[in-house]
Amino acid sequence: MADWLKVRQLGRRRVVNLRSSRTLRVAVGTMLIASLAVIVAGCGGSDGGSDYKIEPSSLKPVEGTDLQQVTLTAQGADRLGLTTSAVAKKGEFKVVPHDSVIYDADGSAYVYKVVKPLVFEREKITIATVKDKQVYLISGPSVGEKVVGVGAAEVYGAELEVDK
């Protein structure tokens, strides 16, 4: 029998005395770690079905187009650091931040307008000029409509289902 464990007989009961409190802490700690390892190992397994996963975005076709409406979760938008701003008017032009503009493979320019909170649709724009991080538009969303600024490229990637 180990010298750190002392067992004495009291009638029909056995009483276990540990020699030091440090030894007791080590023994209890070891049992806890072993128990947690078994619990954690059981949590990672699969029950044969698909693993549950929350997607940061979802898509819905926009009728009459080949575009998709992109809906982000609040956490997805936060992770992107997504910002929006209203389309402004300067002279005869509509103005959006440079961060708002994305280009497709054909070189066409777009912005993502905010349909409702966390829901975005891509809209084609015609650019007149770019000056001081502002893009002057001939055509595009109406003045006052909100468009995505920072995060527009990531919304575009979600629409195209990049990395799926």
Sign of the alpha-carbon torsion through 88, 150, 59, 163 = positive
Same structural domain, 67 and 119: yes
The Cα–Cα gap between 97 and 109 comes to: 13
Same structural domain, 31 and 96: no
- 83 within a domain of the structure (yes/no): yes
Output the DSSP codes for 35-62. Answer: HHHHHHHHHT---SSPPP---SEEEEEP
Residue 31: the pLDDT is 60
CATH code at position 90? 2.40.420.20
| pLDDT of the chain, 164 residues: tens digit per residue | 554 455 555 555 555 555 555 555 555 555 656 555 555 444 444 455 556 566 777 788 888 888 889 999 999 899 889 999 999 999 999 999 999 999 999 999 999 999 999 999 999 999 999 999 999 999 999 999 999 999 999 999 888 887 65
For 2, 111, 155, the CA distances from 162, given in Å and listed in that order, are 61, 18, 10
- 51 within a domain of the structure (yes/no): no
The Cα–Cα gap between 85 and 112 comes to: 11
Residue 148: the pLDDT is 96
- 17 within a domain of the structure (yes/no): yes
- 33 within a domain of the structure (yes/no): yes
Same structural domain, 93 and 32: no
Residue with tokens 């006052």: 144
Number of domains, the chain: 2
Residue 65: the pLDDT is 84
Any residues with CB less than 8 A from the CB of 55 and at least 6 apart, and which? Answer: 73
Same structural domain, 30 and 76: no
Which domain, by its residues, includes 121? 57-159
Q: Which two tokens stand for residue 45?
A: 């397994």
Residue 53: the pLDDT is 66
The residue among 76, 145, 90, 66 whose CA lies nearest residue 112 is 145
Same structural domain, 19 and 85: no
- 49 within a domain of the structure (yes/no): no
Provide the pairing of β-strand 119-131 with 134-139.
antiparallel
Angle 90-80-98 from CA coordinates, rounded to 5°: 25
- 18 within a domain of the structure (yes/no): yes
- 164 within a domain of the structure (yes/no): no
Angle 137-87-64 from CA coordinates, rounded to 5°: 75
